[in-house]
Homo-oligomer: A and B are copies of this chain.
Amino acid sequence: MNLSGAVSFIQSHQTFYLAAHQSPDGDTLGSCLALRAALLLMGKEATVVCPDPAPKNLSFLEGVDTVTDTDGIEPPKEAVIYVDCADHKRTGALQSILESAPYQFCIDHHGTNPRESRDGDWVEEVGATGELILRLLEALHVPITHGIATALYTAIATDTGNFSYSNTSADSFFAAAKLMAYDINLPELNRILFREMPLAKAKLIAYVLGEMELSTDGRLNIAAISQTVMESFHATKEDCEGLIDDMRDVDTVEAACILKESDGCVRVSMRSKRSCDVAAVAKQFGGGGHLRAAGCTLYLPLDEAKRVMRDALTEALA
């Protein structure tokens, strides 16, 4: 099942739910909203459904105000397309209602997708589901509008880390090049998607970069954030995203570790650059992850947790 399967599924139906995954990101929302706009242009009915609200920085996407959650959602009349959902469970609270749909298809780029949709799955491991949606719209000969192009650019740019992650391919760049024909406001989009931050996040960055401690000839960088500090900045869990990457960016650093005090425990995130196996370190404490990005949870006071992680990482770097 592939592009032609998706084309016939769309051509065979009239009324669609387009399902975005929980904790929605730029790829699932951008892909869903671009596909919705295209289906409307084809004279079909389409509603984007998502169990969670769109993040604030994606509120500029055309049609985002029409996204429907569990509140008052009607059972699907005809077709559901799961978009960027690694499996049906990713639709969270909407899963049972969506699975009652008579016709179901999936378009996704996660290699682990179980391909369990009743009428087929188009799964290709590309940089972003947005790349697949662009190919689909071209195959359907739908005109690309400025809104569609902006949504697809958002999908591709966010899921490839602005063309920096290893999932970025020549096709990701070709897709962006094509979308540029529709007057995408690149400086504004980049500011919104990758730069703008609430004051709490700026203060948290200042705190972490100010308090972090380098050791082992600058190769280890470790920082801890107490609940008191989080509260003093009115910071949320989302504000902590990316802090560990900033810590790793210091040029001498091989391994970075951040400890966040959370009700009754300490959540530990680790990153490395080239040689240190942080997954092995996480495993020592019942955690896990990848070679260069891993985590674990410690049930210790923050200071003691920091000492324990510094010891373990110093040994791993030896």
- Residues of A at under 8 Å CB distance from B? 161-166, 168-174, 176-178, 180-181, 186-187, 190-191, 194-199, 202-203, 205-210, 212, 214, 218, 245-246, 249-252, 273
Majority SS of interface residues in chain A? helix
Q: For residue A218, give the distance in angstroms from its CB to the closest CB of chain B.
A: 7
Report yes or no: B195 in contact with A166, Cβ–Cβ below 8 A: no
Report yes or no: A173 in contact with B176, Cβ–Cβ below 8 A: yes
Residues of B within 8 A of A197 (CB): 249-251
In the complex, the chain B residue whose C-beta lies closest to that of A212 is B202
Report yes or no: B245 in contact with A195, Cβ–Cβ below 8 A: yes
Q: For residue A208, give the distance in angstroms from its CB to the closest CB of chain B.
A: 8
**Given the complex of chains A and B, what is the CA–CA distance between A210 and B199 in angstroms?**
10
Residues of B within 8 A of A166 (CB): 186-187
Some 6 contacts from A to B, beta carbons below 8 A apart, are A164-B190, A171-B177, A174-B174, A195-B245, A205-B205, A206-B207
**Given the complex of chains A and B, what is the CA–CA distance between A237 and B274 in angstroms?**
29
**Given the complex of chains A and B, what is the CA–CA distance between A245 and B252 in angstroms?**
24
Residues of B within 8 A of A250 (CB): 196-199, 202
Known: A170-B180, A173-B177, A207-B210. A199 touches B162 (CB 8 A): no
**Given the complex of chains A and B, what is the CA–CA distance between A212 and B197 in angstroms?**
15
Report yes or no: B186 in contact with A177, Cβ–Cβ below 8 A: no
Report yes or no: B181 in contact with A170, Cβ–Cβ below 8 A: yes
Give the residue of B173, B203, B209 whose beta carbon is less than 8 angstroms from that of A202. Answer: B209
Known: A190-B164, A197-B251, A210-B210. A246 touches B202 (CB 8 A): yes
Report yes or no: A163 in contact with B162, Cβ–Cβ below 8 A: yes
Report yes or no: B180 in contact with A173, Cβ–Cβ below 8 A: yes
**Given the complex of chains A and B, what is the CA–CA distance between A196 and B221 in angstroms?**
14
Give the residue of B161, B162, B178 whose beta carbon is less than 8 angstroms from that of A164. Answer: B162
A-B pairs, top 9 by smallest CB distance, nearest first, are A173-B177, A206-B210, A206-B209, A164-B190, A170-B180, A174-B177, A173-B176, A195-B249, A170-B177
Report yes or no: B195 in contact with A203, Cβ–Cβ below 8 A: no
